[in-house]
Amino acid sequence: MKILITGGNGNLAGALVKKLESSYQLQALAHHDLDITVQEEVVKKISTFKPHFVINTAAITDVDGCENQIKKALDVNGLGPNYLAKACRENDSILVHFSTEMIFDGLKTTPYVETDCPNPLLAYGLTKYIGEQNIKKTGCKYTILRTSWLFGGGVPKFVNNFISKANQAHSIKVVKNQTGSPTYIYDIAAAIDLYLQEPKLGIYHLANSGEASRLDMAQFIKKELSLDCELVPVFYQDLGIKTYRPAHAALDSLYKKKHPFLQLRPWQEALREYLGLTE
């Protein structure tokens, strides 16, 4: 089975390649190999390789960056998926596209499920939502997987940043007024492996189970790693973050019982594994 992965140098793509490369004929194309905003390139790569699946991880994921460069965000997050979807339709490939919890406004106090109505309040979420709509309009075969708060892979994001700060500073400010579903990239990769054996079209929420604030995550890491630091709960606004952040952005799926690939373990178990704490 042939799989083409876009955004091949990205964090999630790295986990997908590691998990899938021994079982599938994989072509992971980094940004310099395939720019998804150039339609001719998209058509050429897909019509030449003729993959059974195209997994699109390419995106502008910098939330504040999207606010400042909305045209670029729209091109990559909105238009690129449209080009991919059209090429998939022409070549009878299934498009597996990653989307985000940020398509929701964060005002709901329980986790968002697939039937909740999107209402993005930031450029990142808006452009990702446009990407979803653009895929649906083409009539291609697609699976849109919304996920949230990815960790793993050693990138300097929340988990790794927190650990390095904890090793240097005595007291650390951590945001308490934002919740999400922390999700391990290798759990997503394992879910995709399962999905490929029995693909399900449509829109699904794919995240580790449970929800957490950044403060909950920090407290968990502090305890598990016995870190000697003081946590100071703050609002994200106190850290100089000017753009709005959804207060509640956790995800859950209505289809977990029906589709095993959506059954991800609790985030705490996944994070323990990432921290190297499992036997």
Ligand X SMILES: NC(=O)c1ccc[n+]([C@@H]2O[C@H](COP(=O)([O-])OP(=O)(O)OC[C@H]3O[C@@H](n4cnc5c(N)ncnc54)[C@H](OP(=O)(O)O)[C@@H]3O)[C@@H](O)[C@H]2O)c1
**Does the annotation count 112 as an active-site position?**
no
User: Is 158 within 8 Å of 228 (Cβ atoms)?
Assistant: no
Look at residues 190, 100, 103 and name the one whose alpha carbon lies nearest to residue 148.
100
Window 90 to 109, contacts with ligand X (CB under 6 A): 98, 100
Angstrom distance (rounded) from CA 113 to CA 17: 28
Q: Which of 24, 124, 186, 274 is catalytic?
A: 124
The answer to whether 236 and 175 have CB atoms below 8 angstroms apart is yes
Binding mask 29-68 for ligand X (x = CB under 6 A): --x--xxxx-------------------xxxxx-------
CB 77 → ligand X: shortest distance, Å?
A: 7
Question: Considering beta carbons, is residue 9 or 229 the nearer one to ligand X?
Answer: 9
| Nearest-angstrom CA–CA distance, 183 and 211 | 10
- In this structure, what token pair is assigned to residue 234? 């703050």
- For the beta carbon of residue 52, count every other beta carbon within 10 angstroms: 16
| β-bridge pairing 212-213 and 25-29 | unpaired
| CA 42/CA 48 separation, integer angstroms | 10
Q: Taken in order 229, 230, 234, 240, is the CA torsion positive or negative? A: negative
- Structure token digits, residue 165: 């700060």
* Minimum CB–partner distance for residue 188 and ligand X (Å): 9
Among 28, 74, 126, 150, indicate the residue that binds ligand X (CB under 6 A).
150
Cβ 170 to ligand X, closest distance in Å? 28
Kindly state whether residue 262 participates in binding ligand X, applying the rule CB under 6 A: no
Chain Cα centroid distance, residue 131:
14
> Cα–Cα distances in Å, from 46 out to 53, 54, 94, 232, 263?
10, 8, 11, 50, 31
Q: Which of 3, 4, 5, 7 binds ligand X (CB under 6 A)?
A: 7
Compute how many residues bind ligand X; rule: CB under 6 A. 26
Closer to ligand X by CB, 59 or 270: give it.
59
Closest residue to ligand X, based on beta-carbon distance: 10
Of the ranges 10-18, 135-143, 163-171, 220-228, which one interacts with ligand X (CB under 6 A)? 10-18
Residue 143 as a binder of ligand X (CB under 6 A): the answer is no
Site of interaction with ligand X (CB under 6 A): 6-7, 9-13, 31, 34-37, 57-61, 76, 80, 98, 100, 128, 147-150
Catalytic residues: 124
